[in-house]
Structure 1
Amino acid sequence: MKWTVGKKIGGGFSLVLALVILMSGFTIWKIGEITANYHTFSKLNIEKMEMVQGTAADIANEGVTMRRFNFVGDPNDIPIYNDYKTKSNDRLKWLEKNLQAGTGLEYITSIKKAKEEYEKIAEMSMAAKQAGKIDEVARYMADAGAPYKATMTAAEKLTLDTRTYVIQEQEQYAKDARSSQIFLIVINIIVIIASSIIAFFISRNISRPVHTVAEAASQIAAGNLAADKITYQSEDEIGQLADAFNQMRISLRTVISQVSISAEQLAASSEELTASAEQSAQASTQVAVSIMEVATGTEAQGRNINSAAATVGNITTAIQEIASNASIATEISDQAAAAAQNGGSSIEAAIHQMNTINHTVTESALAVTKLGERSREIGQIVDTISNIANQTNLLALNAAIEAARAGEQGRGFAVVAEEVRKLAEQSQEATKQIASLIQEIQNETDNAVTAMNDGTREVKLGTDVVNTAGGAFTEIVSLASQVSGQVKDIASAIDRVAAGSEEMVVSIREIETISKETSGQTQTVSAATQEQSASMEEIASSSEALAHLAEELQVTIATFKL
């Protein structure tokens, strides 16, 4: 069976309530038993005393009635005497049946024996009175004195012993009542202690893991992802929360590690891209210088073309110099093309890396958003616990009111109700503290989401910049290829001019035309190299900005302890 926090709290309070109900039921039963025993005891003892005292009174009235009849001779005294005799005999039978040994039972036999002897003589005296035998009446009355006295003495002893027994039973009953009272007090104390122990264990089993989870949340909020795993064996809501925190720490650690590695790679790629852009700019500058030199030579060739026929030797020398410069320009153009291709490869790698960083940062933002949702779910659980504590407080208040109505008998129940109310108030205070901590976690989570969104936007901007640089590098590669081809064409043309130097005079006009075309082409190449140099500067600037963003990302990641 899965014991949730609500079941634990409900089970604890149910157990305490069961103990209180058992204690109350036992108290009511014990009080009822004591009351019933008291009523039975009182009724029986009162009846005993009435019977004993009535027996003594009836015997005394027998003697009075007998003497009055013997002196006065009133015939109405005879039925009165018989009535006293019958009542005293009935009382003696009841006492003989209900008295126990040691409580006056031994006097019943003496009373009956002396009473029979006395009644026999008394009836003989009354018969002599009716017959008018006055002398016999006096003699019978004198003979009846001794048994009558023995009867009254035994009756007095019976009365005294019965009274003593009743007093002793009353004292014993009082002792039993005090013992029962002490026993009930002990039972109440045991129930209170047991309830306190149950409440203590329930409170500790809830507060300890919650405190552990709160400390783990504080460490995560401070950026410490290297803390120990939360260990909690129960499968209740707190155990689920602990598992979620452990999984969240692992996920955050993985994401931050990946982002850190990507940031380092981004910084390295940015530095390489900057270096490549600078090299490409330098190469473009060299190409531009060479092309300008070619353009200058071509213009000089055009100005001197009218005197070419007379100075063939000088032209041959100039053509050789041009061929040499063209070879140098070809090599420089090839280097520029190779550098541009390398720069394009670096740009493609940077684009791929920026896309990876963008994907990683997006996943980080989603993970932090899930953390915020988990925190809100925890807040709902804490609200539920707070509502339970409120209901418990109301129940404790109602129980205290009912205990107050019960008066003295409900005093122990009132103490238990007060303890339950205090526990409910403590639970409310604990839930408030937990709610405050969860609010702080949610605030930190929202801040983290905002930071992740900002990082995502910055990475997107970096990606766009790198994509732009990639397009520029594509154009640079294309232009470098064109420049290389054009320079090679120039070198080939100059070679052909050198081979046909003997025919130069004849085709001077053709050379003039070629010189003009060469001048225009060199100007075009010069403009292209200038554009390439400007593009390389833009790429270098973008690479520096990208490196700065990577450094900021590394600083942000460094706040987390893995």
Structure 2
Amino acid sequence: MFKLTLKKKIISAALILVIVLSLSSVIGVIKMSEMGEASDKVNNKSLPAVILLQGMDKQITEIDRLTVRLILEEDAAVRSTYQEELTKATASMDKRVNEYQSLASTAEEKELFTNFYGQWAMYLRHLKVVSAAMEENDKVMAYMIIHGNSSIYKAALDDVNKLKLLNEQYATDAANQSSDSYYSGKLFMISLTIICTILGIIGSFLLAQSFTKPILKIAEQMKLVTGGNLQVEPLRIRSKDEVGELASDFNEMCDSLRNLLKEVVDNSLLVASTAEQLTASAEQTSIATEQIAISATQVAEGSQTQLSDIAETLNYTVDVSKSVDNITNRFVHVANLTTQAQEKANNGKTQMSSTVSQIRDVHTKVTQSAEVVNILGEKSAEIRQITAMIREIAARTNLLSINASIEAARAGEQGKGFAVVAYEVRNLSAQASEATGKISSLVNEITLRTDEVVISMNEGVQSLNEGMMLVEGVGNVFSEIVGAVEEVSGEVDTAAVEARSVNEGTVSMVESMRKIAEISERAADSTQTVASVVEETTASMQEVSAGANMLAKRAEEMNQTVSVFKI
């Protein structure tokens, strides 16, 4: 399809103007040529012909006058002079006749010239007869010839006058034709100039309207877009020139900006929602870590109590060992020592039962702490997914801001306001990406610490299991001691052997109690580690919550920034 661009329109208008001016110039040249032809006709034919005919008229009259003088003159010398003048006049007349013959062009003029030439030839013949008669001095004959030649003379003069009038008429017609050509050419040029001026003004107005009217529409729409109104109606400019392309590009730019801002608003809402979810997850994690801290504190307190009980039990066990050693040397006091041993054994059994119960409580709380830590790890994984989603949203927002900057650059000066908005959106997306990076780092650190806590908890659980087994073994030993003490009185013979056995059992029990003490110390250390990890987790969750709040604030600022646009 033919595309009439602005350049082609201007060139076409200039070409039409050149054609009109060229046409007027051609017509002017034609009129000037007609005037030139008429002027040439007057100067080269009619005017010389009239001059020749006037000379011929005078020449004929002069010849006739000389002829009459020649006849009337008595003096031969004077007649000879007249004769010479008559000969010269006749030769001059012949020359004029020949010159005029070459100027005769029309049929009427040639016919009149033929009649004149016949009369002139006859007049010359009679003139020669007169000259001959005068040479014989026969004036009567010469006079009679002259008298009879008067009609020829008049006819020749009449023909000359007719030719002169005819050429004067030709000159008048040529002058009138030249004048008519001049005035008609002048009128035509004036009319053509007026018409060209009117058409030029109308064409210039229409051409200017075709340029400025759509451009004014585009400028009006551009002002609305600059003010933030993206709900403008699409421009309906059907011209196929650069203005039409500009209108089409402007419509596409408005559609692109409208879609872009919709995506920015949706993404900002999604960021705000995600930030709220992240804040809620951080709060839940903080609550879980507080529960872990409470459990760890309880475990630490239980471990301290357990250590105190184990130390006391260890002292009792040492005393029992000393007593058993004395049994061998002081068997006389077996009864008393047996009573004391029975009492101490009962106390030891009671303490061991209490120790087993406390260790079981520690085992239960450590297991609960391990479950809470596992939940914390799962929450950390959820936070990692959320931060990944936020990072993707920030990347998409950054890409959208770059696209907005490109569309604003296409818009030129009118798109500067939107370029500032795109720049602010890009800064907000960069800050959101930086915040999600910090959150990811914190979540990774929490995950690492959580894994360490899980490992420490597992080790604590294993140690507690071993401690429980040892304590249960010690309880069994105490039960055996009680039974042995009850049977001491009836089995004195075997007391020494049993005493040694008891001594060996007490030594083993001392070692077991020492191991239990070490396990309890490790459990206490583990609970302290859990407490420190929980504190770090709590601090990290506070930072996560602060980052989520900042992200929500940035999302709100982004919404306020783009709210100036009507989409």
TM-score (normalizing by structure 2): 0.70
Q: Residue 343 of structure 1 aligns with which residue? A: 379
Deviation at 1:229, TM superposition (A): 6.0
After superposition, what is the alpha-carbon deviation per residue over 1:8-39, rounded to whole angstroms, capped at 9, x for unaligned?
54565455445545544553454245224312
Instruction: Give the alignment partner of residue 438 of structure 2, picking from 465, 487, 496.
Output: 465
Measure how far apart 1:501 and its partner are: 5.4
Aligned to 1:475: 448
Kindly state the Cα deviation for residue 115 of structure 1 after the two structures are TM-superposed: 5.5
Aligned residues: 497
In the alignment, is the contact (CA less than 8 A) between 2:116 and 2:160 conserved in 1? yes
Give 2:371's aligned residue.
Answer: 334
Q: How much does 1:69 deviate?
A: 0.5
| Deviating more after overlay: 33-42 vs 61-70 | 33-42
Q: Which has the larger radius of gyration?
A: 2
Partner AA of 1:534 in structure 2: A
- Is 1:174–2:174 an aligned residue pair? no
| Displacement of 1:319 | 6.0
Q: Which amino acid aligns with 2:556?
A: E
CA drift at 1:275: 0.9
- Tell me which amino acid in the other structure corresponds to 1:352: A
SS in 2 for 1:470: helix
Please state whether the residue corresponding to 1:367 is helix, strand or coil: helix
Letter of the 1:447 counterpart: V
How has the CA–CA distance of structure 1 residues 483 and 276 changed in structure 2, closer, same or farther, with 3 Å as cutoff?
Answer: farther
What letter matches 1:475 in structure 2? L
Cα distance between partner residues in 2 of 1:504 and 1:554: 75
Alpha carbons of structure 1 residues 168 and 523: separation in structure 2 relative to 1, 3 Å: closer
Q: Return closer, same or farther for 1:158/1:23 CA change in 2, 3 Å cut-off.
A: closer
| Farther off after superposition, 540-549 or 148-157 | 148-157
Task: For 2:25 and 2:161, locate their aligned partners in 1 and report how far apart those are by CA, in whole Å.
Answer: 47
The aligned counterpart of 1:290 is 295
Structure 1 residue matching 2:80: 3-state secondary structure: coil
Deviation string 1:62-112 (CA, Å, 9 cap, x unpaired) is 21011110111512323433444455466567469726467x777657656
Instruction: Compute the displacement of 1:122 (Å).
Output: 5.6
Shift of 1:116: 6.3
Is 1:274 aligned to residue 282 of structure 2?
no
CA pair 515-128 structure 1, distance change in 2 beyond 3 A: closer
Do the aligned partners of residues 262 and 502 (structure 1) sit closer, same or farther apart at CA in structure 2, a change above 3 Å counting? Answer: same
Greater CA drift, 185-194 or 528-537 = 185-194
Cα gap change, 1:80 to 1:28, in 2 (>3 Å): same
Judged with a 3 Å threshold, the aligned counterparts in structure 2 of structure 1 residues 286 and 557 are, in CA distance, closer, same or farther, namely same
User: Are the counterparts in 1 of residues 303 and 521 from structure 2 also a CA contact under 8 Å?
Assistant: yes
Greater shift, 70-79 or 87-96, is seen at: 87-96
**Structure 1 pair 451/17, CA: closer, same or farther in 2 (3 Å)?**
farther
Structure 1 residues 477 and 248, CA, compared in 2 at 3 Å: closer, same or farther? farther
2:32 partner letter: I
The whole-number CA distance in structure 2 between the counterparts of 1:146 and 1:517 is 174
CA gap 1:500/1:544 in 2 versus in 1, 3 angstroms: farther
- 307-316 or 463-472: which moved more? 307-316
- The answer as to whether partners of 1:51 and 1:95 remain within 8 angstroms in 2 is no
1:354 maps onto 2:390 in alignment: yes
Give the counterpart letter for 2:395 in structure 1.
Answer: H
Report the equivalent of 2:399.
Answer: 363
Classify 1:243/1:440 alpha carbon distance in 2 versus 1 (closer, same or farther; 3 Å). Answer: closer
> Is this contact kept in 1: 2:428–2:554, CA < 8 A?
no
**Structure 1: runs of 5+ lacking an equivalent:** 376-437
Does the aligned pair in 2 maintain the 1:280–1:336 contact within 8 Å?
Answer: no
Change (3 A) 1:374 1:345: same
CA–CA distance in 2 between the matches of 1:346 and 1:240?
A: 51
Report the Cα offset of residue 274 of structure 1: 1.1
Separation (CA, whole Å) in 2 of partners of 1:503 and 1:252: 85
Identical columns (%): 20
Report what 2:268 is aligned to.
263
Question: 1:539 Cα deviation (Å)?
Answer: 1.7
> What corresponds to 1:534 in structure 2?
539
Alpha-carbon shift at residue 272 of structure 1 (Å): 1.4
Matches within 5 A, 1:61-460: 61-73=62-74, 74-85=79-90, 87-88=92-93, 91=96, 94=100, 98=104, 100=106, 127-137=132-142, 139-145=144-150, 147-149=152-154, 151-153=156-158, 155-156=160-161, 158-192=163-197, 207=212, 221-223=226-228, 252=257, 255-301=260-306, 303=308, 306=312, 309-310=346-347, 323=360, 327=364, 330-331=367-368, 333-338=370-375, 340-368=376-404, 370-371=406-407, 374=410, 438-441=412-415, 443-444=416-417, 447-448=420-421, 450-460=423-433
Distance 2:472 2:287 in 1: 32
